Structure 1
């Protein structure tokens, strides 16, 4: 298969996704690399199999594919693009330096799953859309993530559309594990989460 020729925006998206090593929303892409992926560039990168995009709510989240990582690996030895500017030139000098190390990009930039995505996926596995999941059960499902990362993600999700974090109204039903797994949002301990369909 011949190498896909990408414009500077598309290259920037791939390199940012590679460096971040996780799914990113457009807002996260903008924050990390100063670039967004939508419209024709998104369609092109998806059609060429370089980026996997999936709809979440009203927007998309994007993740570099194995083919995208392979494209980036080839880019290590590529010539600096025309009109790359000073920063672009410096970036390609860094890429050539990475190539000289001989270290695979997958080792330099390991995959780091987004805690919010992991929580959404875990809730989807544990219950039907609109069903409640206790945070104690949820934490066991994603026990490889640090508690602080989970708590921060839960706090962010608490204000996301279609996500509900709730306290257990019957406090007598709470176990020690339930108390330990609770997250404090807006000054209140929350014990369960529900994510609506879509």
Structure 2
């Protein structure tokens, strides 16, 4: 960042942070909706004069985005020491952004790459394979050895967070194809949780799973 780092008001700094977080061209109505902010008047004039943002008329509103200089300003803020006597929250946020700065440096990433990164969507077959793998890993964690019987109650606890219907389908697909599902022989020992964890196949509730490997 050049030595003549611009002196900005608290609001102007906040506006730059908002543009950094959005990492796109964004209109005033959109910025207002997501952040409760608008870049108007003197704030718009200052940020544009300092070449920190682009701000162009689009229809009846303005659209804004960070310039390269704006991104550089934001990156410098990651390690800038809070002035005065900062509140605990400000000190914690400073430590967080300093950690982000170290991460970017270690991985040779630019700040805009951090904020524009997208999570790739799993193909349907990949998502299903992922659930199968998690079922197998959960079974391996619970079973003392291959072909041990594992309670579906315990298995589901290991898979907490996965959609119930998808786990059920994977268990049904595994039955007879590397896995075996059976009912609990002593039905009197079943708890309400055991009954809820069961997989129903052919009109019969199954409570235990065995896998060869």
Relative to the length of structure 2, the TM-score reads 0.47
Which of the two has higher C-alpha Rg? 2
